[in-house]
A and B are shown apart, each in its own frame.
Chain A
Amino acid sequence: MSERRPLLAMQQVTQAYSLPRTALFSPPGSFTVLENIDFDVCAGEAVGLVGESGAGKTTLTRILTGMERPQSGHVLFDGTDIWSADQTQRANFRRSVQMVLQNPRSSLDPRMRVGTALLEPMRSLRIEGDHVKRLHEVLDQVGLDRSALERFPHEFSGGQLQRIAIARALMPNPRVLVADEPVSALDVSIQAQVLNLLKDLVRDLNLGLVFIAHDLSVVAYTTSRVSVIASGRIVEVGQPVELFTRPSAPQTKNLVDAVLTVESGLSGTAL
């Protein structure tokens, strides 16, 4: 592989939560959620993270976005450890790494007009200036009409809401987008629109995209490198086609076997 300069990286990250004390004088046990995780994303690259529920996907995301401090290991943004960075570097990190969540209906405030919701990150990240131009720019990028700004979330369909959520994440001009199951709450015909949009954004804005999902075929379509996580460890990393045609780890095999396709269903080999 040629010289890679990851934009956002996790190095040997371990995270454990302590369990409730079972006896008065014995030390409480702990539960290791992530163990020695290495994970990174470069600019203009889409990487996938797949695993069953409970594998540690969410914890990894929380650490990657700086919402949680790992017990050991480093989270590097642009080469700087975010937990020992100075204030300007932290502010820069906060602006540059944005998230898109699974269900746009619950991640957008129902009482807030879309325009206000889109300005929210600018307010909370204390980004100064006139944001109207930026609003229009972002709406164009995600393919929404300007009239959307005056409307409320309930007036939109799921697919449009997810576009709005993506637009909100794009507002501070981030360099990395972390999308946690961005299409699993959407209808099939809409799912394709949002996946195509994410792909375009990576290409056009030179964004780093971290795509978390449980559906392998969706991840394979969107990303160029996939990490498989199982019980807190990365068990396999590779190009999607490699992974899914020749899985080496048993956990990857499990996930691959679980994929149902129309073809396998019709030929009677699915179940």
Chain B
Amino acid sequence: MRAVYKKELKSYFLTPGAYIFMGAFLLIAGLLFSLQNIFTGNSDFATFLGSLIFIFLLVVPILTMRLFTEEKRQKTDTLLLSSPVSIVGIVLGKYLAAVTVFLLTLVVTILFPLFLSFHGKMDWAQIWGTYIGFFFLGSAFIAIGTFLSEVAESQTSAAILTFCGLLASWVIDYVRSFVPMSSMAGAIFILILAGIAIAVFQNKAQDWRISAAAAVVAIVVVIILYFTAADALYGLISKFIAWFSLTSRFQRFSMGILKLDAVIYYMSFSAFFLYITGSRIENRRWS
């Protein structure tokens, strides 16, 4: 893993990738900081960081688009897969290199509150708490980008896919307000999810008998649930969507609450995307 990490980090700084990411990130952040804090004399830095999270939409694709697509372009992916490095090592090495570039960028932004501190008191505890949340949120976005870089065939498509993926996670909170709340909608939603799982299985297994049996079981379970635990199904779609909302969990950090469950959530969210990235590589290795 260390070898992949070092190689990836080196390649970030020997190509324009890291510089474009850092430059774009710091330019947008600097502009917003000037408008929101410097020229208005506002010492509330946590709120500034909170309003900065849209930046991930723009810059994370730049950071992650080349992680796996570059290997595919240069045809070095086969070489990498046949090397003694484990798939976990490859995925983690690449992911951690991207996270390191992001962390370095964040370190530069510490200058911002430092400037403010020369002219007034600062809420340092709250600022550090928000930074921790910002870092984990960014890391989760980078994990999505890592996965989509593996999925895509070219850097451009990786960047577009990542942008769309992050946009989806961004608008998820707005969508929540419009989804139907009834128990019937919840039941139908479970059936759709079960249908997707069965379709994936059918695609891999090509065994319609097992798929059909699974579909029947799913329908029976949902009907029983609907008549015995309708309350649990109420608002299910909204709750399900909420579970995928990365940005709503960040709100607590920018309010000054450092929550262990939110940190664990971001870490497990990242872990899940890295796991499915590894699974895809594993499948490719054996195909």
The answer to whether A and B come from one shared complex is: no
